[in-house]
């Protein structure tokens, strides 16, 4: 019992316990903050610009001059213009070598022109040196990337696949029309696929296993399932043609963009050499 009391007293004497002797007898933190607020409010003039001394007061108005941009009706258009320029820069960066740097004038929202920075200092009266532009236009890597014969072959192959798939669609349409275009389609289907005496299907197994016999109702059920599979095949074929046509349009748009980029580079070289584009 004496040992237990000793251990308890030793624990109570540790600094981690909340004893008054471990704390200073000075003023509390809250009183210091309130006193600083009163002193700061008395010394800060009414026409001050900064926020020093105001952050601890709940009723003070913080100065936001120059920290938050003012919104105007052109803000959205300027943001869209910046995003559009970034997309153009990403597209052009794949076809222009790394030593040519592209600069976009984001301040002028009406101008969509792309300026190419040359090592030589350029101004309105000095034509930039065209060596790097010529290297960009004459580069075999850029020519192969823009022309891309494999992409053209893929577009041609997609067109052939679409034409072949159209023949499959026509065949399924003819088969379904022969079944349903008659005045009494159910009678025609029964005459083509249903046997009144039933159908025996051989199992191709041992002799002791009997053949499968399909009754009239079972034949009608199987016939209906196969006709439904023809409808599914027709819808799948039409969807396949639609997807392939979408792919062809994407490839065509990609080739158009590449050609426009190539023409833009050639026109830049022509203008840098002092030529004039036709109106």
pLDDT tens digit sequence for 236-256: 999 999 999 998 898 888 888
How far is the C-alpha of 15 from the C-alpha of 55, rounded, in Å? 35
Report if residue 82 sits inside a domain: yes
Q: Are residues 86 and 100 part of one domain?
A: yes
pTM: 0.44
Residue 6 lies in a domain: no
Residue predicted with more confidence, 106 or 78 = 78
In order, the DSSP letters of 186-240 are HHHHHHHH--TT-EEEP--S-TTSPPEEE-HHHHHHHHHHHHHHHHHHHHHHHHH
Structural domain tally of the chain? 2
Tokens for 187? Answer: 């009678």
Domain that holds residue 83: 75-144
For residue 164, being part of any structural domain is answered with yes
- The mean pLDDT of the chain is 69
pLDDT digits (tens, 9 = 90+) for 155-176: 888 889 999 999 999 999 998 8
pLDDT at 5: 46
Nearest to 190 by CA among 217, 212, 214, 228: 217
pLDDT digits (tens, 9 = 90+) for 29-49: 555 555 555 555 555 555 555
39 within some domain:
no
The answer to whether residue 42 sits within a structural domain is no
């Amino acid at each position: 019992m004496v040992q237990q009391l000793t251990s308890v007293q030793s624990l109570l004497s540790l600094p981690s316990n909340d004893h008054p002797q471990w704390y200073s007898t000075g003023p509390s933190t809250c009183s210091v903050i309130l006193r600083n607020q009163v002193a700061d409010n008395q010394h800060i003039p009414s026409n001050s610009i900064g926020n020093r001394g105001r952050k601890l007061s709940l009723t003070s108005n913080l100065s936001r001059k120059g920290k938050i941009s003012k919104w105007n009706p052109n803000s959205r258009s300027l943001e869209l213009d910046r995003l559009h320029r970034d997309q153009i820069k990403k597209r052009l960066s794949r076809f222009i070598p790394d030593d040519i740097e592209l600069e976009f004038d984001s301040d002028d929202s009406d101008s969509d022109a792309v300026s190419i920075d040359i090592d030589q200092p350029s101004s309105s009266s000095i034509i930039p040196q065209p060596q790097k532009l010529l290297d960009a236009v004459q580069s075999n890597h850029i020519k192969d990337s823009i022309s891309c014969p494999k992409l053209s072959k893929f577009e041609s192959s997609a067109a052939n696949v679409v034409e072949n798939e159209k023949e499959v669609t026509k065949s399924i349409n003819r088969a379904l029309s022969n079944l349903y275009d008659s005045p009494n389609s159910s009678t025609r289907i029964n005459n083509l696929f249903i046997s009144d005496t039933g159908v025996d299907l051989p199992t191709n197994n041992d002799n002791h296993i009997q053949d499968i016999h399909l009754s009239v109702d079972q034949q009608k059920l199987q016939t209906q399932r196969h006709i439904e599979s023809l409808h599914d095949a027709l819808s799948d074929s039409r969807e396949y043609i639609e997807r392939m046509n979408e792919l062809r349009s994407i490839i065509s748009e990609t080739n158009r963009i590449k050609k426009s980029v190539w023409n833009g580079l050639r026109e830049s070289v022509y203008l840098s050499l002092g030529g004039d584009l036709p109106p």
